[in-house]
Structure 1
Amino acid sequence: MTRHRLAAVLACLAGAALTLYAATRVWAVQVEQRPGLSDLRTEQTGSDVQPWLTGLALVALAGAGALFATRGVVRRVLGVLLALSGAGIAVGAVLARAGADPGAVGAAGTLWPVACVIGGAVVAVGGVVTARHGHRWAAMSSRYERRPAGPVEKEETPGGRALWDALDRGEDPTAG
């Protein structure tokens, strides 16, 4: 495995994992004070704020796996898709952070949106490396693929009757 390929795959995996983890953490807690009742706490995770973050992170995970199975132009297109996915993650997290309710408790103090931005940037870098260098990487081995069907040579195998006749003569039909 080449150095660029390893770096791209690890970048996509690490960025997607960081994004998935950060998107499931609590980004903001809103407390509604109700007179005569206890306060109502509402927690919002990154997936609640920007639902597509987990979807884009899953696309990045699948893309990292697909880097092994593709080659040539398809791998370059996959690199562009990964770069766009990473950019979408980063932009979504920035928009969520910018649109956070300033009155929400913990909205300004949590770093999970920043972790999503970092994860998206790492995925985007992996995608750019793939788009730039991916066409030169080796493809999966065709070791386990079927060979195309060609003319089949029939081996001379004795028929069922010949096997019984050999047994009658005391010969072992399975030998040699």
Structure 2
Amino acid sequence: MTRRRIDRPASAAVLALVGGALGLLAASRPWVHAVVIDPVLGRTAVSASGRQAAAVVPAVALVALAGGIALLLARTIGRLVAGLLLVVAGAAQVAAAVGILRSPRPSVEEIVGRAVGAVGSSDVRVTLTAWPWLSVASGALVAVAGVWTVLRARSWSEPTSRYDAPSARTEQAGTEDPPDTWDALSRGEDPTR
């Protein structure tokens, strides 16, 4: 592929959309498993999904999806704003997932408390799954799409105005309605004059 084909808003939009979709997928899967060994209740296993462990991840993933679509539809200023939002959203997603990776126990304490009936259970074994790592990767994709957009948005071509509302200038130009043009042809008049 040529550099020209790769350096388009669609390429950054694809990165943002893929990152957002992977973020939603990761948030829907279990991130943390906890096994509680209680002298009275015995062994109890609970899990926390990405939504429960880091509630910001699905929200940020939706922002990434909206930002990816905005890159395709907006003009330069809108793309710059969307790019900045993508950088912030990607960084927030990475920070939330890394927070869980560094300290997973607080993310399941409430769930363990509901399952066992006590918040400060003594013997809790916590294990992580691979889904927080996918969330880190998807947040990084979103941030890269945002940085790319901020750096390159001024050089990208504007989207077509084919579906924009007609401006006052085109209405004043005296453009006729296509049915009027056909009626003029039917009457034998030359519509090009």
Tell me the TM-score normalized by structure 1. Answer: 0.77
> Runs in 1 of length 4+ with deviation above 3 angstroms?
34-38, 102-105, 149-153
Q: Deviations over 1:91-120 (max 9, x none)?
A: 11001111112943422xx11111111111
Unaligned runs of 5+ in 1: 156-174
Task: Flag the structure with larger Rg.
Answer: 1
How far apart, in 1, do the equivalents of 2:80 and 2:27 lie? 28
Q: Deviations over 1:44-73 (max 9, x none)?
A: 011101101000000000000011111122
Q: Per-residue deviation at 1:37? A: 4.0
Distance 1:38 1:140, change over 3 A: same
Question: What residue number does 1:8 align with?
Answer: 12
Question: What residue number does 1:62 align with?
Answer: 66
| Secondary structure in structure 1 of the residue aligned to 2:47 | strand
Unaligned runs of 5+ in 2: 107-123, 177-185, 188-193
| Secondary structure in structure 1 of the residue aligned to 2:127 | coil
Moved more, 95-104 or 5-14: 95-104
Q: Which structure shows the bigger proportion of residues in strand conformation?
A: 2
1:117 equivalent to 2:136? Answer yes
How far apart, in 2, do the equivalents of 1:141 and 1:43 lie? 48
Identity among equivalent pairs (%): 34
Question: What residue number does 2:149 align with?
Answer: 130
| Secondary structure in structure 1 of the residue aligned to 2:68 | helix
Q: Which structure shows the bigger proportion of residues in helix conformation?
A: 2
Q: Per-residue deviation at 1:41? A: 2.1
Question: What residue number does 2:75 align with?
Answer: 71
How far apart, in 1, do the equivalents of 2:96 and 2:40 lie? 38
| Secondary structure in structure 1 of the residue aligned to 2:48 | strand
RMSD of the TM alignment (CA)?
Answer: 2.3
How far apart, in 1, do the equivalents of 2:162 and 2:104 lie? 53
Q: Per-residue deviation at 1:15? A: 1.1
Residue identity opposite 2:145 in structure 1? G
Q: Per-residue deviation at 1:20? A: 1.1
1:3-82 aligned at under 5 Å gives the runs: 3-4=6-7, 5-35=9-39, 37=41, 39-82=43-86
